[in-house]
């Protein structure tokens, strides 16, 4: 049911690992970021120095982790991976930083979720390549500065605006990843099919791409589901018929909406006359937590112009009625 969600758990991450592009020129789309990044890396290589710290922002599943791995591969350095939520105390971060090798790339996922003290330690480390190790406690405590070898932080965040300015300013380069166009997702799919050793027909690639919400992670996941269907119920071919049949099994419709998305829209249209209706009322109508509706279904519905948010509540946009095959009520007073 969650087949079109952009997040990934560990099992999913393992399946994804095989499909990750390893070099910048295998990375599909995001031309601007790719060009800029390739300059940054090439220049650093030419100078024989660690590249500037890189901040990558954008929604989940668009390739931030992949780019961090590519940066390390392109400069031929090891990659260390951690995340904001994994670092509980400044000391945890100090331990990671002080164990970095020269030129190592440190990937900090969800960097906006670092705790304050860790964040402050990070500024200093990024700017001066130094950590202050605190020894002792209370009045007798003192800080011993420890020099670090040069390294490169690659930070990832869903929104650059969530980062405090002082931290944001420590990044020499910021790249913003945007949702992919359908033809770019088709390229991702063709490449992935090749790696999975299956033949994907062009019409099937196009069909999967249009239902993937602009997100490579979702495209790859749908591809795996179509492959399952073709293997178990079809004749092994990944053609248009197989793609449609598989996506029907997983209840992913032509726009990439799943059951929850459609449930929300349908309730909005049929039970509340298209709104406006409050989030909590709407959530109760579909038997979900308000938070689930707000964070899981709503962002894509709003982005697709199916649902609107107004000060008085959620409203169905004309495209929602059309998508569900419903007729909106005539405007009152006419
Ligand atoms: P994020 O870190 O932004 O959540 P990931 O880097 O983990 O996203 O990417 C999710 C999946 O999508 C990976 O398996 C990766 O192979 C694939 N992917 C992402 N961007 C691209 C791209 N530009 N070209 C090919 N595959 C991509």
**Å from CA of 61 to ligand 1 middle:** 6
Tell me, yes or no, if 64 is annotated catalytic: yes
What is the pLDDT at residue 333?
62
Distance CA 271, CA 73 (A): 54
pLDDT (tens, 9 = 90+) of the chain, 334 residues, equals 478 888 888 877 888 888 999 999 999 999 999 999 999 999 999 999 999 999 999 988 999 999 999 999 999 999 999 999 999 899 999 999 999 999 999 999 999 999 999 999 999 999 999 998 878 888 888 888 999 999 999 999 988 888 999 999 999 999 999 999 999 999 999 999 999 999 999 999 999 999 999 999 999 999 999 999 999 999 999 999 999 999 999 999 999 999 999 999 999 999 999 989 999 999 999 999 998 899 889 989 999 999 999 999 999 999 999 999 999 988 776 5
20 belongs to an annotated ligand binding site: yes
Tell me, yes or no, if 25 is annotated catalytic: no
Ligand 1 neighbours, Cβ below 6 Å, are: 16, 19-21, 27-30, 60-66, 188, 216-217, 220
CA angle 31, 37, 40 (to 5 degrees): 145
| 114 φ/ψ angles, rounded to the nearest 5 degrees | -65, 140
The ligand 1 atom nearest the CA atom of 8: 4
The structure tokens listed for 95 are 């331990």
What is the pLDDT at residue 133?
82
280 belongs to an annotated ligand binding site: no
Name 128's Cβ contacts closer than 8 Å, sequence gap at least 6: none
Q: Whose CA is nearest to atom 7 of ligand 1?
A: 65
Are 320 and 270 spatial neighbours (Cβ–Cβ below 8 Å)? no
Are 149 and 181 spatial neighbours (Cβ–Cβ below 8 Å)? no
Choose the catalytic residue: 5, 34, 77, 217: 217
* CA-closest candidate to residue 274, choices 235, 221, 330, 201: 330
Max intra-chain CA distance, the chain = 79
The complex's ipTM? 0.99
Distance CA 334, CA 322 (A): 21
- Residue with tokens 């190592």, as numbered in its chain: 104
Distance CA 222, CA 243 (A): 9
Q: Is the peptide bond before 276 cis (omega within 30 degrees of 0)?
A: yes
Cα(first)–Cα(last) distance of the chain, in Å?
41
What is the pLDDT at residue 329?
87
What is the pLDDT at residue 5?
82
Tell me, yes or no, if 312 is annotated catalytic: no
Q: SS3 of 305, please? A: coil
Structural element, H or E, at residue 128? helix 116-128
Q: SS3 of 276, please? A: coil
The model carries a pTM of 0.90
What is the pLDDT at residue 334?
54
With 0-12 / 13-18 / 19 or more C-beta atoms within 10 angstroms meaning exposed / middle / buried, residue 155 is: buried
Structural element, H or E, at residue 33? helix 31-47
What is the pLDDT at residue 7?
82
């Amino acid at each position: 049911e969650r087949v079109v969600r952009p997040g990934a758990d560990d099992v999913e991450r393992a399946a994804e690992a095989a499909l990750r592009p390893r070099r910048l020129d295998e990375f599909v789309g995001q031309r601007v970021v790719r060009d800029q990044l390739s300059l940054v890396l090439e220049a650093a290589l030419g100078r024989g120095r660690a590249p500037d710290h890189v901040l990558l922002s954008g929604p989940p599943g668009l390739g931030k982790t992949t780019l961090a791995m590519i940066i390390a591969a392109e400069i031929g350095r090891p990659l260390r991976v951690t995340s904001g939520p994994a670092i509980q105390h400044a000391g945890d971060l100090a331990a990671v930083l002080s164990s970095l090798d020269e030129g190592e790339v440190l990937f900090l996922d969800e960097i906006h979720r670092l705790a304050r003290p860790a964040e402050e330690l990070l500024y200093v480390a990024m700017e001066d390549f130094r950590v202050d190790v605190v020894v002792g406690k209370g009045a007798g405590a003192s800080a011993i500065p420890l020099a670090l070898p040069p390294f490169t932080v690659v930070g990832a965040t869903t929104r650059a605006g969530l980062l405090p300015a002082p931290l944001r300013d420590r990044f020499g380069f910021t790249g913003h990843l945007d949702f992919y166009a359908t033809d770019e997702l088709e390229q991702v799919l063709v490449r992935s099919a090749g790696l999975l050793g299956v033949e994907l027909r062009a019409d099937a690639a196009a069909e999967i791409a249009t239902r993937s919400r602009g997100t490579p992670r979702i495209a790859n996941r749908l591809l795996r589901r179509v492959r399952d269907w073709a293997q178990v119920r079809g004749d092994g071919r990944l053609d248009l018929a197989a793609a449609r049949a598989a996506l029907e099994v997983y209840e992913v419709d032509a726009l990439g909406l799943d059951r929850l998305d459609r449930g929300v829209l349908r309730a909005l249209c049929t039970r509340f006359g298209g709104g406006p209706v409050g989030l909590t009322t709407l959530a109760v109508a579909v038997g979900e937590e308000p938070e689930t509706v707000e964070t899981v279904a709503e962002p894509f519905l709003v982005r697709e112009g199916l649902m609107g948010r107004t000060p008085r509540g959620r409203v169905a946009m004309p495209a929602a009625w059309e998508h569900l095959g419903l007729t909106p009520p005539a405007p009152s007073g006419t």
